[in-house]
Structure 1
Amino acid sequence: MTSAGLTLVTGASGFVGRALCDELVRRRMPVRCVVRQHTAGDLPDDRIQVGDIGLATDWSRALEGVQTVVHLAARVHVIREASSDPLAAFRATNVQGTLNFASQAASAGVRRFVFVSSVKVNGEQTRAGHAFSEADTPAPQDAYGTSKLEAETGLCRLARETGMDVVIIRPPLVYGPGVKANFGAIMKRVKQGWLLPLDAVHNQRSLVALDNLVDFIVTCLSHPQAANQTFLVSDGNDLSTPELVRGLARAAGVVARLLPVPVWALRAGASLLGKGDAMQRLCGNLQVDISKARSLLGWVPPVSVDEGLRRAVAGMQKT
């Protein structure tokens, strides 16, 4: 592998961005952080505020001397969508903003552009025993996934036109210290000893520990075989929802309290409460095949699932 040089990280103040910047500093790799607004705290001193990302964003100052880019900044899911046209709103940032940034990066001489996309480009669920792979026809089911696919398509075209390497990474759910949303809620309920009606769920889901995702991103910054490739990434050890609950309970030092309620009853109740999508994530399958990352890059997840869950729970307990 060769040195990545100065790396620019967008979305540096986010969940993945902070961890990535910390790891680059730990490895003594020069990093410049891009944030949407001024952020105090523990980010490296070399940081630049760019505001909203779109067609009009000027990246010239941020890109000075940069050799590699990790683009994490994006418009992500919102619980209460305010836009009358969600797809247009996602496209403005995730497609137009990304391609404007990448075009300026190529013009500035950036050698490699690592784009963190989403497994939602592949789809929302898999059949049991049939994991998503990079060779599958994309099938996004929502505006966010569609915008990520459109960005990927535009980046691949830009790579052909300019010669700038593009690497696309599609992670599933990322967990680790500081995780919020549904995963954070499950951790909290397990730690508090809630009785969870999930013991009859027989599914398999791929997750990726924050430290594993960060390690994979760093690998893709410099590995020669990563150039112009798309990768799925995970811990390489899929879990059922009851296995996840038990793993979190072990990490928290508590007893997992699980009740076997039929999946059909869980789905019916969730549908009545308008929580059908959340229940699908708890009961359905979503597996990814990381054999391409293993074989082409020689990458092995450095953190086990048990250790990843321990770190996530420890991070929750510090907050």
Structure 2
Amino acid sequence: MKHKVFLTGASGFVGSAIMHRLVADGTPVVAAVRQADVVQSPMVRSVLFQSFEQDNDWDGALAECDVVVHSAARVHVMNDTESDPLAAFRRVNVDGTLALARQAIAAGVKRFVFISSIKVNGEGTAPGRPYAANDTPQPQDPYGTSKLEAETALQALARDTGLEVVIVRPVLVYGPGVKANFLNMMRWLDRGIPLPFGAIDNRRSLVAVENLVDLVVTCIGHEAAANQVFLVSDGEDLSTTGLLRRMGQALGRPARLLPVPAGLLSAGAKALGKGSLSQRLCGSLQVDISKTRDLLGWRPPIDVDTALRAAARHYQEFDKK
């Protein structure tokens, strides 16, 4: 069955990758964007909007669509300046999501694919004890809380209206054009900066943007995806030390890693008020994607090293400074 998709967040890192994949597959897209020149394809119709904090009339945009893929969000920020961060996250991630979902139902949309976050599950796992899709959620910050609240409200709408809701919780997403800490790590490695991460024996799940997009596309049409929650990763968990070494290989710049004990790194980071950064670098966060594999017959189409090479090529061509 050929679908027509209403896509939010089409100018973002994940949303733009979803849009390009849909266009490549020949799927018509109505894309919600903030700038008119973001999309240039006859397969895509752009709909301008200002913010998900405002009331938006999506009726015309949704009229011919049977699937919504909602990737727009107020994302996690390291140094939030909002006086009430939870309220700010709720306005976009909960209220804006539900307003869109209700209009989608009124327009006759059949399926709503919601890009959530592993932060709904929590911030970390013991090695060898990964999160599973049916675990009790334990968000630890306002962003994760807002995503859980949106999931819960969407599931209630599904029960009341028959809308098929599919929830995807990605771990850290990387790939061509990635920003933030992942981009910083590539810059450090490219410049040959010695890094004190040579003795970290943690395990972290990551997901290449190409793998996440492939799962989202699968969830658009797969009958068994309806009203399910899926975790997604590359299927291979890495230590921070291992990730940096393989990223260095992808860049052609062997990593210069100093074997500083993880406990010393964590203590120093906490003393500097960087405890959350320490958790991401030294702690473990693993996910079990067996439900995703078994129920959907899905497998990550690309491996970690292929994905790292793609990210490295993009960095060397466009992001290197």
Name the TM-score class by shorter chain: over 0.9
Partner SS, residue 173 of structure 2: strand
Distance 1:32 1:287, change over 3 A: same
Gaps of 5+ in 1: none
Structure 1 CA distance, aligned partners of 2:138 and 2:79? 24
Partner SS, residue 285 of structure 1: coil
**Residue type at the aligned position of 1:101:** L
Structure 1 CA distance, aligned partners of 2:290 and 2:266? 33
Cα drift, residue 52 of structure 1: 1.0
Identity %: 55
Aligned to 1:46: 45
Aligned to 1:156: 155
Write out per-residue CA displacement over residues 163-185 of structure 1, whole angstroms, 9 at most, x where no aligned residue: 11000000000000010111110
TM-score, normalising length: structure 1: 0.97
Cα drift, residue 62 of structure 1: 1.6
**Residue type at the aligned position of 1:30:** P
Aligned to 1:243: 242
Cα drift, residue 124 of structure 1: 0.1
Partner SS, residue 62 of structure 2: coil
Cα drift, residue 81 of structure 1: 1.7
Structure 2 CA distance, aligned partners of 1:127 and 1:259? 24
Gaps of 5+ in 2: none
**Residue type at the aligned position of 1:17:** G
Distance 1:163 1:68, change over 3 A: same
**Residue type at the aligned position of 2:232:** V
> Do 1:13 and 1:39's aligned partners in 2 also have CA atoms closer than 8 Å?
no
> Do 2:203 and 2:286's aligned partners in 1 also have CA atoms closer than 8 Å?
yes
Choose the corresponding residue for 1:32, options 30, 33, 36: 30
Write out per-residue CA displacement over residues 266-302 of structure 1, whole angstroms, 9 at most, x where no aligned residue: 1122123222211210100000000001000000000
> Do 1:8 and 1:32's aligned partners in 2 also have CA atoms closer than 8 Å?
yes
Q: After the TM superposition, which residues 1-319 of structure 1 pair with which residues of structure 2 at under 5 Å, given as runs?
A: 2-3=1-2, 5-35=3-33, 37-44=34-41, 45-54=44-53, 56-319=55-318
Structure 1 CA distance, aligned partners of 2:84 and 2:40? 34
> Do 1:18 and 1:43's aligned partners in 2 also have CA atoms closer than 8 Å?
no
Structure 2 CA distance, aligned partners of 1:229 and 1:111? 15
Cα drift, residue 77 of structure 1: 1.8
Select between 50-59 and 138-147 the one with higher mean Cα deviation.
50-59
Structure 1 CA distance, aligned partners of 2:53 and 2:14? 21
**Residue type at the aligned position of 1:50:** F
Write out per-residue CA displacement over residues 192-229 of structure 1, whole angstroms, 9 at most, x where no aligned residue: 11111111110000000000000000000000000000
Cα drift, residue 80 of structure 1: 3.1
Partner SS, residue 46 of structure 1: strand
Structure 1 CA distance, aligned partners of 2:75 and 2:51? 13
- Counting matched residue pairs gives 316
> Do 1:114 and 1:166's aligned partners in 2 also have CA atoms closer than 8 Å?
yes
Cα drift, residue 41 of structure 1: 4.1
Structure 1 CA distance, aligned partners of 2:40 and 2:277? 33
TM-score, normalising length: structure 2: 0.96
Cα drift, residue 43 of structure 1: 4.4
> Do 1:176 and 1:210's aligned partners in 2 also have CA atoms closer than 8 Å?
yes
**Residue type at the aligned position of 1:187:** M
Structure 1 CA distance, aligned partners of 2:69 and 2:40? 16
Select between 54-63 and 11-20 the one with higher mean Cα deviation.
54-63
> Do 2:171 and 2:206's aligned partners in 1 also have CA atoms closer than 8 Å?
yes
